[in-house]
Amino acid sequence: MVILGIDAHKRSHTVVAIDEHGPHLASRTVGTTTGDHLRMLRWVDQLGPDRRWAVEDCRHLSRRLERDLLAAGETITRVPAKLMAHVRDSARTYGKSDPIDALAVARAVLREPDLPTARLDGPDRDVRLLSDHREALVCERTRVVNRLRWHLHELGPSWDPRARSLDRASAYDAIEERLRPFDDLVAGLA
């Protein structure tokens, strides 16, 4: 069995091949396009059909790579970043380099056989994206409401609309009416 560890970056991926005992067999750096991934697969075919890919779990950098490998029928294991760091810390060669990191990713799979396997994106990813987007919108709304409340407090310390009341248009109409007599910057910002 050949294990192929990948250190993924925006513009390149470094691949290091090891066998099931851990020694380095081969390495290569490739680009990040689908064409680059197909060329990498042709190169990897020389190492034999019995293989498993190990990718550090940073999907913002490795999503296209994972999608291309899965579409080609490959098996991919996701290695948590903290586990990869632990393996790299125990390596004999010190320093930061892409081949060292790719080797550490591959060896992490040997040490931890029960790591999660990647699969094609589907409804789970869509739900996660929607949930993350909703959370970002809620945080943004909270930030805007809090800033408004601080500006209103600066204009009049007794003026303190409850945050929950600021989800209705009528509340904003009342605030706008009350701000009309003010002509300073804070009122304009509020």
The string of pLDDT tens digits covering residues 46-93 is 998 999 999 988 877 888 998 899 888 899 998 987 776 655 555 555
| Beta strand segments in 20-173, E | 24-30, 51-56, 76-79
Indicate if 145 and 60 belong to the same structural domain: no
Residue-number span of the structural domain to which 144 is assigned: 123-189
Q: Would you call 77 helix, strand, or coil by DSSP?
A: strand
Top-confidence residue, 139 or 92? 139
Indicate if 158 and 103 belong to the same structural domain: no
Indicate if 47 and 133 belong to the same structural domain: no
Q: Indicate whether 118 belongs to any domain.
A: no
Mean pLDDT, the chain, whole residue set: 84
CATH of the domain at 102: 3.30.420.10
Q: For the segment 166-182, what is each residue's pLDDT rounded down to a tens digit?
A: 888 888 888 888 888 88
Indicate if 72 and 142 belong to the same structural domain: no
User: Please, what is the Cα angle at 74 between 71 and 76, to 5 degrees?
Assistant: 110
Distances in Å between the Cα of 177 and the Cα atoms of 130, 158, 162, 164, 182 are 36, 16, 17, 19, 10
Indicate if 23 and 104 belong to the same structural domain: yes
Indicate if 27 and 91 belong to the same structural domain: yes
Q: pTM value? A: 0.60
Q: Indicate whether 154 belongs to any domain.
A: yes
Q: Which of 88, 111, 134 is the last residue of a domain?
A: 111
- pLDDT average, residue stretch 149-157: 83
Q: Which of 78, 111, 144 is the last residue of a domain?
A: 111
Nearest to 179 by CA among 151, 158, 150, 157: 151
Reported as type and span, the H/E element at residue 19 is strand 13-19
Total domains present in the chain = 2
Residue 43 confidence class, pLDDT cut points 50, 70, 90:
very high
Q: Which of 111, 138, 164 is the last residue of a domain?
A: 111
Indicate if 45 and 80 belong to the same structural domain: yes
Q: Indicate whether 105 belongs to any domain.
A: yes
